[in-house]
Amino acid sequence: MRDVARAPWVLWLIGLTLLAGVAYLSRPAMPLDETRYLAVAWEMWQRGDFLVPFKNGEAYSHKPPLLFWLIHAGWWLFGINEWWPRFIMPLLSLASAWMTWRLARRLWPQRSETAQAAPLVLLSSFLWLLYSQALMFDVLIAACALIGLNALAEAALTGRRRWWAMFGLAVGLGVLAKGPAILVHLLPVALFAPWWASHLNRGITWPRWYAGVGLGLLLGVALALVWAIPAGLHGGEAYRNAIFWGQTADRMVESFAHRRPFWWYLAALPVFLFPWLFWPRLIGALVRALRNDWNDGGLRFSLIWFAAALLIFSFISGKQPHYLLPEFPAAALLIA
C-alpha cells in the first residue's frame, strides 16, 4: 500500500484522461485492425459463444480471446457501448506505467528519481503514445510481460515461491493475449538470471531458481490449455491446428506480410522512441552508465530484456513497429 500511495497517480490520471479523451473524440474506430477486432467481439457476443472467436461465421484463429473477453467484460458491466473498447488500452497503458514505476523501485531502491521518471518516459514515447489509444493487442501483451518481469525481480530479491505463481499467471495471460510471443519478452530475463540477479541478491540458489522458472512455465501452459483444449474441440480441426501450431510456426519461419530487412528495427528505434533518443545528453549518459555501473543488476536486467527481444524479432522476417512495444518499459528504465 505504501507503493501505491507514493506513485504520482494524479499526473498519470491526467495523462490517461487526455489520452483516452483525444482518442475517443477525435476519430472513429480505424480500419482494418480496430474494426476487425470489434467485429469479432460483437459476433462472439451475438452468438453467445465466448470460447472461440468468430468472424463472418467462421472461427477466427489469428488472435487468442483475451482482448475480446476484456471487451465483453465491459459490455457486461456497462451495457453495449462504443466507448468501453476505446478505453481498454489507455487503462492498460496506465497499469503498465505503474508496473514500470514499481519495477524501477525494486531494481534501484536508492534512486527514487529513476522510478519517478521512467513512467513519464514510457507514456511520452511516440510509438507507445500512439498505440496506447489503439484497440490492438500489443499494450495488452506489454502489461502481461510487466506482470511476469515484476515477478522475476521479486523472486530474485525475496526468494518467495509465490512470485513463481505470478510468473506463471503472466505466461498464461500472455499466451491468451497474443500466443507464445510472450516467451520472447520473459524467457531471456528468466534464463539469463545469473548475469543480473546475482548483483541484486547473492544468496540465490540457482537450481531452485530454474525449478521456479520451469514450474512457472508449466503453470502458464496449463492456464492457456484450459482455454485452448476445449476451444480446439469446439472450433473444429482447422481452428485446432491453427491455434496449436499453424499461426505461430508460419509467422516465425516465414512471413510474407510485413517482410523487412534484419536491421529495420534498429534503424527505426529513434522514431519509435521519439523524442528521447534525440536528447543530446542521453547517449553520453548511457555510455557512462555502461562503463561505470556495469555491475548494476537493474541495468543488466533492463539490457537483457530489451536487447534479447530486439535481436529475436530482428531475425523474424515479418516486422511491425508495435511488436516491440513490450520492450518500451525496458527502454524507459534505461533512459530514466
Residue 5 reports pLDDT greater than 50: no
Please say whether the beta carbons of 301 and 279 come within 8 A.
no
**pLDDT tens profile 167-204:** 999 999 999 999 999 999 999 999 999 999 998 988 89
**Residue 174's closest CA among 217, 211, 210, 209?**
217
Confidence of residue 7 (pLDDT cuts 50, 70, 90): low
Residue 215's pLDDT is what?
A: 97
CA 299 from chain centre, in angstroms, equals: 19
Instruction: Tell me the sheet residues that pair with 55.
Output: 58
Phi, psi of 262 (to 5 degrees): -55, -40
Instruction: Report the pLDDT averaged over residues 254-282.
Output: 83
Which of 21-35, 154-168, 176-190, 245-259 shows the lowest per-residue confidence on average (mean pLDDT)?
245-259
Which among 92-96, 279-283, 300-304 has the top mean pLDDT? 300-304
CA neighbor of 152 nearest in space, from 91, 89, 99: 99
**Residue whose C-alpha is closest to residue 128's, from 330, 325, 333:** 325
Q: Indicate if the pLDDT at residue 211 is higher than 60.
A: yes
Q: What is the pTM of this model?
A: 0.92
Reply yes or no on whether the pLDDT at 278 is more than 90. no
- What mean pLDDT is predicted for residues 305-324? 92
Task: Assign 3-class secondary structure to 25-64.
Answer: HHCCCCCCHHHHHHHHHHHHHHHCCCCCCEECCEECCCCC
The yes-or-no verdict on residue 3 having pLDDT over 70 is no
**Taking a C-beta distance cutoff of 8 angstroms, is the pair 258, 319 a contact?**
yes
Residues 6 or more apart in contact with residue 86 via CB below 8 angstroms: 20, 23, 24, 29, 133, 135
Distance separating alpha carbons of residues 76 and 78, to the nearest angstrom? 6
The maximal CA–CA distance of the chain, rounded, in angstroms, is: 60
Quick one: pLDDT band at residue 1, thresholds 50, 70, 90? very low
C-alpha grid cell, residue 34: 480496430
Would you say residue 251 has pLDDT above 70? no
Residue 284, Cβ density class (10 Å: 0-12 exposed, 13-18 middle, ≥19 buried): exposed
- Give the pLDDT band of residue 334 (cuts 50, 70, 90): very high
Q: Report the range of poorest mean pLDDT among 22-26, 62-66, 148-152, 176-180.
A: 22-26
Stretch 2-8: mean pLDDT: 52
- Summarised one tens digit per residue, pLDDT across range 43-64 is 999 999 999 999 998 999 889 9
A 10 A CB-CB count for 223 gives 19
Q: 2-11 — which CB contacts under 8 Å span 24+ positions?
A: 3/102, 3/105, 7/98, 7/101, 7/102, 8/116, 8/119, 11/120
CB under 8 Å to 176, separation ≥6 — which residues? 64, 65, 66, 223, 224, 227
C-alpha cell at 291: 562503463
Question: Cα 289 to chain center, whole Å?
Answer: 26
The arithmetic mean of pLDDT across residues 25-38, rounded, is: 83
Residue 187 C-alpha cell reads as 524467457
The reported pLDDT for the residue numbered 269 is 93
CA dist 65 and 178 (Å) reads 9
pLDDT: which is higher, 292 or 153: 153
CA dihedral 248, 252, 258, 263 (to 10 degrees): 150
